[in-house]
C-alpha cells in the first residue's frame, strides 16, 4: 500500500505536480464584513497554478483541526518572490483563523491541486460567480485578458457582508448583484441568463458558486447550445485523489473525484 508521501512524490514527478511549501503572510485585508484577502509570499517555488486550481491551506490548528482547507487561487505573481492571493470567507474555525492572521505569520500549503478551467470555445466568454466563486473567476478573467481573449465577469452574493468588488492588481467584476438587494442590483446572478447569452453572443460560459446556481447555469447553457464549464465545491481531506472523501455523483451516476478530476468539469459531466 503506497503511503501518502509516496503518492505525493509520484504526483510531483508530473510537470505541474503539487508541492508542500511554506509561505509568509505579507498582507491580510478585511474587504467585507465576513471576507478577507490574504496575500502570501512563498518561501519555496511551486509550479505556476492555472485558474481554477486550488491549494489546501494549513490553518495552524494542530491535531484538533488536522485537515487543511481548500482555497482557490485568486491571484499569482511569480516574481520577484512567488506570491499567492486568496479570498477567504469566514464560515468556521479554519477560515476564521485565516482571516485573523497577521503579517509575518507562517502558513503551510499543498498545491497547486486539481484541474483548472480549460480553453474557452470561441472568442467571447461569460464568467458567472456566486459568492467566493469569484476568486477563481477573477484569476481566469486575468488569464483570458492577458491572452487577449474577451470576457465579462458577473458576480452575485447573498448580501453586502459577502461582496468583494475586486482589487486593482487582479481586476474586478463587470456587474454585481445581491440576493437581498443590499448592494448592486437585487436578484440571483443567473437571473435572465438566457436573454444575456443571446443579446451579447457569448460563445463560452464558466461558472463557480453554489450547486443550485451551477445547475441553473448549466441548464440554460445547454438549451442555448453554449459550452459551459463548472467548478464544484466538496468537502476535502487529502486533495490528492486517495481518500475518496470528495466524490460527488455526476451525470448518469458517474462518481466524480472533485479534488483530482475537478474541481472544474464540463457541465455535461456533472448534470444530466
* Stretch in the footprint of ligand FES (CB under 6 A) among 32-40, 139-147, 201-209, 244-252: 244-252
Of 161 and 211, which CB lies nearer to ligand FES in the complex structure? Answer: 211
8, 18, 34, 72: residue in contact with ligand FAD (rule CB under 6 A): 72
Check whether the bond before 263 is cis (ω within 30° of 0): yes
Among residues 107, 176, 98, 83, the alpha carbon closest in space to that of 137 is found at 176
Q: Is the CB of 63 or the CB of 235 nearer to ligand FES?
A: 235
Beta strands in the chain (DSSP E): 19-32, 35-42, 54-58, 69-72, 75-77, 83-89, 106-113, 124-130, 150-157, 175-178, 185-186, 204-208, 228-231, 247-249, 255-257, 264-266
> Which of 142, 126, 119, 123 is closest to 206 using CA atoms?
126
Q: What part of residues 154-213 is at the interface with ligand FAD (CB under 6 A)?
A: none
Size of site (CB under 6 A) for ligand FES: 12
Q: The dihedral of CA 96, 187, 225, 151: what is its sign? A: negative
Supply the minimum distance, in Å, between the C-beta of residue 115 and ligand FAD: 11
Positions in 153-182 near ligand FES (CB under 6 A): none
Q: How far is the CB of 259 from ligand FES (least distance, A)?
A: 3
Q: Per-residue contact track with ligand FES, 204 to 243, x per CB under 6 A?
A: --------------------------------xxxx-xxx
Residue whose C-alpha cell reads 465545491 in the numeric block: 233
The answer to whether 8 and 38 are in contact (CB under 8 A) is: no
Which of ligand FAD, ligand FES, none sits in contact with 70, Cβ below 5 to 8 A by type?
Answer: ligand FAD
C-alpha pair distances (Å), 185 with each of 172, 215, 219: 16, 22, 23
Pick from 87, 144, 155, 230 the residue near ligand FAD by CB under 6 A.
Answer: 87
Task: Name the residues that contact ligand FAD, by CB under 6 A.
Answer: 54, 67, 69-72, 86-89, 91-95, 132, 135, 233-236, 263
Amino acid at each position: 500500500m503506497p503511503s501518502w508521501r509516496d503518492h505525493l512524490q509520484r504526483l510531483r514527478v508530473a510537470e505541474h505536480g503539487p508541492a508542500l511549501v511554506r509561505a509568509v503572510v505579507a498582507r491580510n485585508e478585511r474587504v467585507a464584513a465576513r471576507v478577507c484577502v490574504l496575500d502570501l509570499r512563498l518561501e519555496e517555488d511551486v509550479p505556476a497554478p492555472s485558474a481554477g486550481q486550488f491549494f489546501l491551506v494549513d490553518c495552524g490548528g494542530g491535531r484538533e483541526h488536522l485537515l487543511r482547507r481548500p482555497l482557490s487561487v485568486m491571484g499569482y505573481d511569480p516574481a520577484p518572490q512567488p506570491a499567492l492571493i486568496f479570498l477567504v470567507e469566514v464560515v468556521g474555525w479554519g477560515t476564521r483563523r485565516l482571516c485573523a492572521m497577521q503579517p509575518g505569520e507562517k502558513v503551510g500549503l499543498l498545491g497547486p491541486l486539481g484541474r483548472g478551467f480549460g480553453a474557452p470555445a470561441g472568442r467571447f466568454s461569460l464568467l458567472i460567480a456566486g459568492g467566493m466563486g469569484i476568486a477563481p473567476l477573477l484569476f481566469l478573467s486575468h488569464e483570458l485578458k492577458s491572452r487577449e481573449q474577451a470576457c465579462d465577469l458577473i458576480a452575485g452574493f447573498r448580501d453586502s457582508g459577502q461582496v468583494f468588488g475586486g482589487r486593482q492588481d487582479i481586476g474586478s467584476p463587470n456587474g454585481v448583484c445581491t440576493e437581498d438587494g443590499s448592494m448592486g442590483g437585487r436578484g440571483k446572478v443567473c437571473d435572465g441568463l438566457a436573454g444575456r447569452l443571446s443579446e451579447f453572443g457569448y460563445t463560452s460560459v464558466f461558472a463557480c458558486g453554489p450547486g443550485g446556481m451551477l445547475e441553473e447555469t448549466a441548464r440554460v447553457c445547454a438549451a442555448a447550445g453554449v459550452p459551459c464549464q463548472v467548478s464544484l465545491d466538496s468537502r476535502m481531506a487529502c486533495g490528492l485523489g486517495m481518500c475518496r472523501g470528495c466524490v460527488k455523483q455526476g451525470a448518469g451516476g458517474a462518481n466524480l473525484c472533485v479534488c483530482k478530476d475537478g474541481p472544474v468539469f464540463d457541465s455535461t459531466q456533472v448534470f444530466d
